[in-house]
Structures are given as structure tokens and as C-alpha cells.
Chains A and B, each alone.
Chain A
Amino acid sequence: MDSIAVQCCNLSKNYHDTRAVSDVSLSVAKGEILALLGPSGCGKTTTLRLIAGFEKPDSGQIEVAGKPIAGPGLFVSPERRGVGMVFQDYAIFPHLTVFQNVAYGLKGQSPAQMRDNVLMMLKLVGIERFQGRYPHELSGGERQRVALARALAPHPVLLLMDEPFSSLDADLRVQVREQVRGILKSTQATAIFVTHDQEEALYMGDRLAIFRKGRLEQAGRPEEVFHAPATRFVAEFMGGTDFLTGQVTDDGILTELGLLPQKVGLPTGADVEIALRADDVGFEPQAQGKAMVLERMFRGAYNVYRLRLPSGRLVHTLQPHVRLFKPGTRARVYVSAGHDLAVFHDGRAVSPPQPSHIR
């Protein structure tokens, strides 16, 4: 299909005895931004470097724009892949000016053409006034943009970004990533970027691919991944999730918060875990309540309450900022989701939320 920009099939890469990437298959459509997300050491950066050509896969193949670039007996060197890369610390050449950095990847053009192209890129990222400066004269955010302009200048088929915002200050990060997303969308670039920050992934990525221990756990649109995590790990990693244990009955799932009237395709008596987000839980103060308020964390617009259930399990709930209770208050806790919750058996999701697969 010609709308596919990148296709990886069964990629594996070992370092000595450790499996850095194990049987990963994923694809990216043209113009799409894919976020590779996961804790450190999960294989996301290695996957990126395999696509860039800085590492050689042990097995599996990679196609970019329909052309195979790595596979059994085939390895196209990085300079002939047409794949741009933004490095974690940007790797802007310190001995070249901003202009020279951006011009570095432009070949076979007349000086005038090259000048036009470079200036266009600099204008796109909004740093044309710094063209004569050296990297050490730029701020972190400006360097980020030089790196982006340099990678985009040769019009790569695919842009790779390795933790592109991690070396920026927190407040600058939010601002820069908005601009970067805007630039990528305006140039209709296909991009893959690596991050360990799920909020950044949700914001930047058209789709997310969540990695764990070298394997791809789930890939899908942010909403899909958030609402219907394919595994318990994904639910946990996407944040703010508590887990309840329960047992499948004829009428639903029996938990310590009562019966969830939710049908799952498992035999009666099967043990399951239910993912519970802070907005799925509610509570009422009640003198005989078996749960207790442990702590209130004021977040401005709302309060997060930490509650202890009779079993000792902790759950969190989001409450309006005017609802104030003291720690120690007895309470009755209930599920207030209004939608089916993600249910896991042996760590993997069971219906109803359809585990979505990539491709």
C-alpha cells in the first residue's frame, strides 16, 4: 500500500544475551506521527536506531516508502535511507553555524538553491535571524529547532526523533512540543519519536506504540490505548490507574466495591483484575463505611483523594475542589464510571474493550 511510510516486520535485536528488541512489528502511515512509549530500557530507542540504520537487526525486515532497507542479507547504510533524525542532545555540529548545519544534508544543489532551501527551513522553525550563529550561542529551545530544521531540510521520507524534548526545561518543553507538532503537521512529515513521558506521547502522537522489555505491548490511537489497554502493563503505564481484584459471576464481576454488571467472555469463577481510574470512582462519607479517607491532595481545580478499601487496597478518586473531607473520614466507595471498565485476566485484556491491534 502506498499510504504506508514505514513497515517493520518481526524485528529482533540482541546485545550479547539481552533481547533489546524482540519480534516487533509496526507500521506508520504517511503523514502520521507515531510515539514509541515505554519505560527506559524497553527497546524503543533501539527500534528507532534500527530504522535509522545505526543498528543492524538480527532478524526481521524494515521497509521505508515501499523499499526494503533492512532484512535478511540486506542492509542499507544510514546515509542512503533518506531517513532524518533528531538526536536526544540534538548533535548539532559545534564547528558549523546554524546555516551550515541546516545546509549539511543538502547535496547536488546550486548555492542559490541551497540558500533558498535553508532559509525556508529556518523560517519554518522560526530561527532565520540566528543563521550566522554558532550552536553554543543558542538556547536549548533554539538548538532543538536547528536540529529539527537540519533533519527536515533534505525532505526525508521519514523523521525520527529520540526523546526530542527531554533536555528542555519543563515549561519550555510544553511550548516547544506544540510548535514541533505544528511544524510536522504543516510539512505533512511522517515521524516516529521516542519518549518515556506518557503525557507527551498522548499530546504529540497520532498513534502510540507502547513497549515493554523489548516487546510491543500495544499500538493504537491515544484514546484507544487509554480506554482499552491491551494489557495490564499498558493500563498501569498510561497512568493514574488502580487495580481491583474480582471474580467472574453469572451477572458480572464481583468486587469489594460490589457487583460490576459487566459481561466478560470468561468462565464463572475466573479471577480478574479491573483497571480503575480516578474518575471512575466516587465516595460518600458514611459513619459505618468500611473504607477510609487517607489523604487529600489538593490540585487546584480538583482534589485527589486516596482511599483505603476494607481489603487494605488503595484507590484514588478525583473530586471537585469544593468537596473537602478530613483524613480519617469513614466512607462508602462505589464505581461511578458509567462505562465498561478494562478487565484483565493473566495480565491481558478480556472483552468488552476490544483489544486493538496495529496494522
Chain B
Amino acid sequence: MQVVKKTPFEPGRRDFRLPFDLNGMTLVLWGTAALVAVALLLPVVYLTVRALGAGSEAWQGLFRFRTLETLARTVWLAVVVTGASAAIAVPLAWLTTRTDLPLRRLWAVLTPLPLVIPSYVGAYLFVSAFGPRGLLQQILEPVFGVTRLPEIYGFPGALLALTLLSYPYLLLTVRAALSKMDPAFEEASRSLGQDAWGTFWRVTMPLLRPALGAGCLLTALYVLRDFGVVAIMRYNTFTRVIYVSYTTFDRSQAALLALVLVAITLFFLALEARVMSQARHFQAAAGPVRPTTLVALGPWKWPALAFCGTVVFTSLVLPAGLLFYWLVRGLGAGETIPRLELAVWNSVLASGLGAIAIVLAALPMAILVVRRPGRITRLLERLTYSTFALPGIVIALALVFFGANHVPQLYQTLPMLLLAYGILFLPQAVGAVRASLLQIHPNLEEAARSLGRSPLQAFFGVTFPLLRPGLAAGASLAFLTIMKELPATLILAPIGFKTLATGVWAAVSEAFFAQAAAPALLIILMSSLPMTFFILNEQRID
């Protein structure tokens, strides 16, 4: 490898101990990186191999009208959900950062909170309320004799649930961009004769465009990846069709469809990269930004409040209320917490082991990316971020085929499940570690070196202690996302290995809404603690 050769090895340095240790460190870093790269590439490469080897029957199956339909449905859902999310997120972001909206801080804390609701839990709650024989109908029937509600299954339900669950991604992106934007731009526009409304459209919105573009693509990728909502809402987008093909043992078909989904995902990713590279000149203010003069809403505060209230009610209060309703009903019907003990233990075990493995792999990756920049590291970095966008179901499927055909001793074991988690969630852990590593100036390590420490000693004596918060953040992030993960767990978990997520899934599939409440609540509680911390922290920086 070229980069290894780059390590200078001048004759004059031979009497130092350094070159040896340097090589030791390099070996560790590149060794891990190579393993990680193989793991990351495995699913897509294996799927491709499988697809190429698939019989003509499977290929014919792919080029059917149904596939085209699925494609259209998937893209259409992604586009509409993204548009709807933007229509919710942009006004919310603006109202909570730029205006004198009453209770602004409270809205700022409440509006991103739906982020903690896993998509399958959200979908389950909406179905439980608005579905056939759901709560709403049960209330309406005796009073008005309503026996049928408008159909929630299909597009409307998927749109509703996905929009309300995914707008926080856009909200957070746009809000961060707004609070980093130098208020002088808006003031300059005002001093040049534009009123608040004109300034919003002619200056604020154009400056937000990169953040908005990135946020929209994040949302679209979320929709493409999502399994829980479309599965529960029975809307046949790729993830659901793939899952159905898999469960009906049409495995080659599933592999081909998964590859198509990968292609769409990569297309959206490429779009995102383009938006971001265009964004580089929209520089944010360098230092901490001076607080903006808030726009006085005047009588407009009433519609603004109604808007915020509606969003928070439907995306947060309603699901939470429903969850507690089902919980109470479940407890009343003899559902007991102890029955969950095993699922809790399994969830914690899988998430804990997964988090540890992920951070151990993320650390060398982050060090390489930050401290050894080069062509190969850049490639590695891009590889990590691309796999992040891949749907869990694709990864899971690839590992199932690979395991069943080549390593049967690993097939349906915990290590295989952990490998899937690693492939899925390594990127965000690398991101967290990388961010905190960037804040540690390399001078610190150099200072330790000049005081006689070897590279390894310098790393563990200086950098590592400073890096601990970043590692902890990466680990807890991994822990929580694994806990919420559904499709990979569903497909790869060893037989009889029930987790909280699969517990919710199993109960909802049978329409045992009350039974799903307790595990769903536990998942939300465990994942919302650090989320609250994160949002409060953002407020403080604000």
C-alpha cells in the first residue's frame, strides 16, 4: 500500500526507538482499517455476485411491471415525505430561532423530540388509533355508528407516520444552519429596504439552501431505508417487497431487489455530495454568533402557535398518549413486566456488545481519517459514509445469504447479528470520535513526543484521555440505535433471541396493540435520555 511507504524512514532516524513504535501503531491502524473495509464492502459485493449468478428466471422477475411500480412508489413516497417534512421543519426552525414566538424555548425543546420514536413504534401507534377496529373507531362507533374509517393502510398512513417521524432530521439541520448564520446578512437586507417577509425569501432562504438540501436528502434516505412504517402500513416500497420476497423464500429475487434499492440510495447520496460541495461558499459566521434581533410576530403569533401546537400534538402528544393508553390497558389485561425481562436482557446484551465492538473499530478509523489524511483514507471515509445510507434490510439479507452459504457455523448466531450492527452503525460512531479527535490539536501529541514519549505512549497518555468523551458519545449513540434497530434484528437474530424491538414487531403483527406498549415504551425511554441531553446542550450553545 502506498500510504505505508510514505512513512519516512531516513537513515538518520534509525537510532531512535520511534520508527519501530510508529510501525506498530501503523500496523494496528491499517490492520483494523482493512478488516473494517472488508466488512463494509461484504454485503454489496456479495449481493452483486449473487445477482450476477442468479438464474434468468430471477432477472425476468426483476424486469416486470411490478418492480417498476415498486420503484415509482418508493421514490414517490420519499419525495412527498421530504416535501411535507420541509413544509413542517422550515417554519418551525424559523419560528424557534428568529421570532418572538411565545414559549419559544419550550417549542424548541419539544419539536425535535419525535426523533426518539422508532418508526415501527410510531406506525404501530397510528394504526392502533386510526386503523380498522382502532381506538378512534371504537370511540366513534357507539356514538355515531361509524363502522369504517378512511383507510389508513397504504400511502396515507405511510406518509403521515414517516413525515411526523422524520421532520426532526430536517428541523435540526435547518435550525443549526439558522443559528450559525451571521445575523448581519438579514440586517443588511433590512437596511437596504426589505421587510422581514422579503428578507426571509430573498436572503434567509437562499442562504439556507445547502442545509435544506442536505436535510432533504437525509430525510429521503431515511424513507428509503425505513422498514417499520411501510411494513406496518402495508405499503409496498422496496424494503417491504424485499422482506416479503425473503420470507416467501424467493431469495434471488430479494437479492436483486436489494441491489436496485442500493442503486437508488447511492443516487441520492451522490446528489447529497453535490449539494454539499456547492455549499462550501455559504460560509457561516466564524465565531460565536451575536444574538439576532427577533422578528416581532404581532397578531401572526396566533397562527404560529396553532401550527406549533398541531405539530407537537400529532407527532408527540398523541403517540405518547396512545402508548400510555395501551400500556394501561395491557397492564389491566394481565400483561406483566417480568415477561419482558428476557427481551430487555437480550436488547441490552446485543446493544452493549455491538457498541463496544463498534467503538473499538471506530477509534482506529477516526485516527486514520483525521491524522493520516491521504487518498486511501479519504476512500475509507467515503466508504464508511456510503454504507451508513444502506437499508438495514439489505445488509441483513446479504449476511443471511453469505452466512447460510459460506459460514453456516455463524449463520443465525449473535456474532453475525453484531457484524450487521457494526456495518450499519459504525459510520455514526466514526463521526462522533472524529469530531472530538479534530478538537485535539496534534501539537499535544507532538509535545509529548518531544518530552520523550513513544507514539503509542503519547497517544495513550495524552490523546486518549482527551478523547474519552467522544468515545463515550460514539458508544452511547451506537447502543441506542442498535436498541431501536428492527429489520436486521428480525432477519439475523438467533432463533428464540427476542429483543424489545422484535417484541413490538411480533405483537403489532398480530394486532396485539396492548402487548406492544410496554416494550415500545422501554425502547423510547432508553433512547430519549441522551436525546434530551443533546437538545438541551444545543440550547445552551444557542
Question: Which residues in window 245-267 of A have CB below 8 A to B?
Answer: none
- Residues of B within 8 Å of A150, CB to CB, are 188, 192
Most chain A CB within a 10 A radius of its CB, from B184, B189, B207: B184
Task: Point out the residues of chain B lying under 8 angstroms from A89, CB to CB.
Answer: 182, 184, 285
Chain A positions 83-115 with a Cβ under 8 Å from a chain B Cβ: 83-85, 87-89, 91-96, 104-105, 107
Q: Tell whether, in the assembled complex, residue A87 and residue B193 are in contact, meaning their CB atoms are under 8 Å apart.
A: no
Contacts of A94 in B (CB 8 A): 207, 281-283
Which of A77, A88, A95 is B195 in contact with, Cβ under 8 Å? A77
Chain A: minimal CB distance from B292 (Å)? 9
The 5 closest A-B pairs by CB, nearest first: A105-B192, A91-B184, A78-B190, A136-B281, A91-B188
**Which residue of B has the minimal Cβ distance to A150?**
B192
Contacts of A91 in B (CB 8 A): 182, 184-185, 187-188
Q: Are B187 and A154 within 8 A (Cβ)?
A: no
Do residues A79 and B283 form an inter-chain contact, with CB atoms below 8 A?
no
A87 neighbours in B (Cβ, 8 Å): 184, 187-188
B340 to chain A, nearest CB (A): 50
Cross-chain contact B182 with A84 (CB below 8 angstroms) = no
Contact at A93–B185, with CB atoms within 8 Å? yes
Task: Judge whether B26 is part of the interface by a CB distance below 8 angstroms.
Answer: no
* Residue in B closest to A160 when the chains form the complex, CB atoms: B191
Q: How far is the CA of A105 from the CA of B188 in the complex (A)?
A: 9
State the interface size on chain B (CB cutoff 8 A).
Answer: 22
Residues on A with C-beta less than 8 A from B207 are 93-95
Cβ-based interface call for A302 (8 A): no
Task: Give the interface SS of chain A, mostly helix, strand, loop or mixed.
Answer: loop
B209 partner residues in chain A, CB cutoff 8 A? 95
- CB of B31 to closest CB in A, whole Å: 42
Task: Name A153's closest neighbour in chain B (CB-CB).
Answer: B192
Q: Whose C-beta in chain A lies nearest to the C-beta of B206?
A: A95
**B184 pairs with A88, CB closer than 8 A:** yes
Q: Does B245 contact A (CB under 8 A)?
A: no
User: Which of the residues B187, B192, B283 comes within 8 Å of A104, measured between beta carbons?
Assistant: B192
Interface residues of chain B, those whose CB is within 8 Å of chain A, are: 182, 184-185, 187-195, 202-203, 206-207, 209, 281-283, 285, 293
Please give the distance in Å from A53's CB to the nearest CB on chain B.
Answer: 7
Contact of B188 among A80, A85, A95, A154 (CB under 8 A): A85
B185–A78 contact, CB under 8 A? no
Q: Which residues does chain A contribute within 8 Å of B293, judged by CB atoms?
A: 54-55
Q: Shortest CB–CB separation between residue A91 and chain B, in angstroms?
A: 4
Is A84 touching B192 in the complex (CB atoms < 8 A)?
yes
How close is B107's CB to chain A, nearest CB, in angstroms?
23
Q: Which residues of B contact A81 (CB under 8 A)?
A: 191
Q: Which of B187, B194, B195, B282 contacts A54 (CB 8 A)?
A: B187
**Which residues of chain B have C-beta atoms less than 8 A from A80's C-beta?**
193
Q: At the interface, yes or no: A226 with Cβ under 8 Å from chain B?
A: no
B187 touches A105 (CB 8 A): no
A307 within 8 A of B: no
Q: 10 A-B Cβ contacts within 8 A?
A: A55-B293, A79-B192, A84-B191, A85-B187, A89-B184, A89-B285, A93-B188, A95-B282, A136-B281, A151-B192
Q: How many angstroms between the C-alpha atoms of A81 and B191 in the bound complex?
A: 8
Determine whether A52 belongs to the interface, using a CB cutoff of 8 Å to chain B. Answer: yes
Complex CA–CA separation, A136 to B206 (angstroms): 16
B188: A residues at CB distance < 8 A: 85, 87, 91-93, 150
